[in-house]
């Protein structure tokens, strides 16, 4: 896996945004998978800046969000749909017809998930998936013990995830929905390119296991070791437990790049 360690969160966010910009420049019709949460806020801010100041054009881009809570309308301020419009879509020229987010109020979540999977296929698959990571190694909302062959489906959130995400629900764990719809591990792994972002000391253990640990369903992100084109973007805190790389380290302004 390729690993980029940035001096700080801003540089990490900028470097990750550059990968998306390069993808769009290479293929203006590209299909992106997108995360929510605290980690990508700087990344979205940088993409918005690139759109406003450098003309980065999202008009032909198709997006699929990784997940959405079940039971929340998209108008709920803690829904991922609300997050995406608030932090990104409202500030760029994305075509709303090309935006896909599972519907939290879908009457039949299983059918919603199956339809989502069909839409991804119809769009030609995902060119670039952008991921965050949970403290327990979840990607999307694929919690430990998720099968690597899983597709988009309704899931139950792990207790640790509910606790971690209470900060987006006025610090009330009881307000966090217990279920969500998430892209599956297989759906994510079928993406042609993957980048994963992580910052802060609370992610260092999961990052160690993602990169150095065995590939195991107990740490869903460890499956990324099997992907042919995956790059992990870290700040120094998230990288603090990594072993020194055996290959050459390439230094750039504010970043170190290495392969494990």
Quick check: 191 and 125 in contact, CB under 8 A?
yes
The window from 69-77, 91-99, 130-138, 149-157 that contacts ligand F6R (CB under 6 A) reads: 130-138
Nearest 5°: the CA angle 223, 227, 229 is 140
- Is 143 noted as a catalytic residue in this protein? yes
- Is 67 noted as a catalytic residue in this protein? yes
Among 14, 100, 103, 138, binds ligand F6R (CB under 6 A): 138
Residue of closest CB approach to ligand F6R? 132
* Buried residues in 39-52 as b, exposed as e (16+ CB within 10 A): bbebbbbbbbebbe
DSSP state of 139: B
- Is 76 noted as a catalytic residue in this protein? no
Quick check: 203 and 135 in contact, CB under 8 A?
yes
Of 4 and 139, nearer to ligand F6R (C-beta) is 139
User: What is the spatial distance between Cα 165 and Cα 177, in angstroms, rounded to a whole number?
Assistant: 10
User: What is the spatial distance between Cα 182 and Cα 138, in angstroms, rounded to a whole number?
Assistant: 11
CA nearest to 175, candidates 76, 106, 37, 41:
76
Range 211-230, binding ligand F6R (CB under 6 A): none
Query: Which tokens go with 45?
Result: 């801010």
Count residues near ligand F6R (CB under 6 A): 14
The window from 22-30, 102-110, 131-139, 147-155 that contacts ligand F6R (CB under 6 A) reads: 131-139
The window from 84-92, 135-143, 223-231, 242-250 that contacts ligand F6R (CB under 6 A) reads: 135-143
* Catalytic, out of 23, 46, 67, 112: 67
| Residue that is written with structure tokens 């420049």 in the block | 25
Among 132, 137, 184, 220, binds ligand F6R (CB under 6 A): 132
Range 29-68, binding ligand F6R (CB under 6 A): 35-39, 66-67
Continuous segment of H or E residues that includes residue 24: helix 9-26
The window from 7-15, 50-58, 134-142, 170-178 that contacts ligand F6R (CB under 6 A) reads: 134-142
Quick check: 164 and 135 in contact, CB under 8 A?
yes
Nearest 5°: the CA angle 247, 252, 254 is 115
- Is 138 noted as a catalytic residue in this protein? yes
Beta bridge partners of 153: 182
Assess 23 for contact with ligand F6R (CB under 6 A): no
Q: Alpha-carbon torsion 4, 9, 10, 13, what sign?
A: positive
* Catalytic, out of 51, 100, 138, 227: 138
Assess 144 for contact with ligand F6R (CB under 6 A): no
* Catalytic, out of 15, 68, 136, 199: 136
Tell the smallest beta-carbon distance from residue 199 to ligand F6R (Å): 8
| Residues assigned a catalytic role | 67, 136, 138, 143
Q: Report the interface residues with ligand F6R, using CB under 6 A.
A: 35-39, 66-67, 132-134, 138-141
């Amino acid at each position: 896996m390729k690993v980029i360690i940035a001096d700080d969160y801003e540089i990490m966010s900028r470097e990750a945004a550059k990968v998306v910009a390069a993808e769009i420049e290479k293929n203006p019709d590209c299909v992106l998978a997108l995360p929510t949460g605290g980690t990508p806020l700087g990344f979205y801010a940088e993409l918005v800046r690139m759109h406003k100041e450098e003309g980065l054009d999202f008009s032909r881009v198709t997006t699929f969000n990784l997940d959405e809570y079940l039971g929340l309308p998209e108008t709920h301020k803690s829904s991922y749909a609300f997050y995406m419009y608030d932090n990104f879509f409202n500030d760029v020229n994305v075509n709303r017809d090309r935006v896909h987010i599972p519907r939290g109020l879908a009457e039949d979540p299983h059918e919603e998930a199956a339809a989502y999977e069909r839409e991804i296929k119809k769009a030609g698959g995902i060119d670039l998936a952008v991921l965050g990571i949970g403290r327990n190694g979840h990607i999307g909302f694929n919690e430990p013990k998720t099968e690597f062959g899983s597709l988009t489906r309704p899931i139950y959130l792990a207790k640790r995830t509910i606790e971690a995400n209470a900060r987006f629900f006025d610090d009330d764990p009881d307000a966090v929905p217990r279920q969500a719809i998430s892209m599956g591990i297989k759906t994510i792994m079928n993406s042609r390119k993957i980048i994963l972002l992580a910052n802060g000391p609370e992610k260092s253990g999961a990052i160690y296991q993602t990169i150095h640990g065995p590939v195991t369903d107990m740490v869903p992100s460890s499956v990324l070791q099997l992907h042919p084109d995956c790059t992990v973007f870290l700040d120094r805190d998230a990288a603090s437990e990594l072993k020194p790389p055996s290959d050459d380290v390439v230094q750039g302004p504010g970043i170190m790049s290495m392969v494990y």
